[in-house]
Structure 1
Amino acid sequence: MNRVADISSVVAGLLQVVEQQQQASATLTPELLNSLHLIHGQSLTNALDLIDRRKVVKLVSSSGRWVYQVTGSSGTPYICLPHSIFCQCPAFKFSVLKRRDSVICKHVLAACISIAMGGVEEKSVSDEHMKAILSHLY
């Protein structure tokens, strides 16, 4: 296995533990938060802030297509694709793709943790709106 696959497996495993702890006690233990912080560093703090401020929304079209919209700290909404590490933000392009010093950006991390904790707000959008969103991804 390569380094990226190893880290991705660890991240996926930690997110499963987040989900299990949320279901069992509705809290995240300090040990789990420390483990997440070891991998994500400051991105975890930033992601948790986005979650606390309810900036993660699941946009669902009438035909059933869906994406996550995470509004960043600057107020810019970014689209995160389901089951993917893709995000439109500059940090994804620079830190994840170019420098490879981050596994995922804070927006994707916020979406993943929100999903695992079962706290994602859903918003219905038209198929036309979803088409416009998807056509502007790059």
Structure 2
Amino acid sequence: MSRCPSVASVVEGLVQAAGRDYRAAGRVSNDVLQSLHILHGQSLMNALDLIDNKKVMKVVGNSGRWVYQVTGSSGTPYICLPHSIFCQCMAFKFAVLKRRERPLCKHVLASRLATEMGEVEEKTVSDEYVMDILANMD
């Protein structure tokens, strides 16, 4: 009996493949991009645009606790939790959770791709700052 991989594991594998391609050749292969596009549609292009424009920030507290802060196309910063699909944006709430139109919002996709590609900016802050971010999440 064959086992079909979950969408989450397929997405994770493609994100890792994109990172390998980018680190090895400075670009993501067309096959990986096409596969990501099938799953994410326009969100992929939007996520790549966020990465190109350096809108993905890893905010790290002194203790090592961290979150992603991704500035959306409207200029609004969204918090994405590491190792999670959670994002504060409306697309996460509606397109990912309610309508299940896509596996990730563009902010989470951008944070994962940027990390794998080595293109995430990092900012060191106090632990209190990270705790304030987490405490004020909607």
TM-score (normalizing by structure 2): 0.93
d(CA) in 2 for partners of 1:26, 1:6: 29
Moved over 6 A (4+): none
Are residues 1:72 and 2:63 paired?
A: no
1:108, CA displacement in angstroms?
A: 0.2
Match of 1:29 in 2: 29
d(CA) in 1 for partners of 2:125, 2:55: 17
Specify the SS of the correspondent of 2:54: coil
The Cα offsets for residues 81-134 of structure 1, whole Å up to 9 and x where unpaired, read as 111000000110011111111101000000011011011110011111111101
Specify the SS of the correspondent of 2:48: helix
Is the 2:19–2:28 Cα contact (8 Å) retained in structure 1? no
Match of 1:91 in 2: 91
TM-score (normalizing by structure 1): 0.93
1:27, CA displacement in angstroms?
A: 1.1
Specify the SS of the correspondent of 2:68: strand
Identity of counterpart residues, as a percentage? 60
Is the 2:67–2:81 Cα contact (8 Å) retained in structure 1? yes
d(CA) in 2 for partners of 1:102, 1:28: 21
Unaligned runs of 5+ in 2: none
One-letter amino acid matched to 2:132: A
Is the 2:14–2:32 Cα contact (8 Å) retained in structure 1? yes
d(CA) in 2 for partners of 1:121, 1:23: 16
The Cα offsets for residues 10-53 of structure 1, whole Å up to 9 and x where unpaired, read as 10110111121122212111121111101100100110111111
Number of equivalences? 135
Match of 1:128 in 2: 128
Task: Indicate the RMSD between aligned Cα atoms, in angstroms.
Answer: 1.3
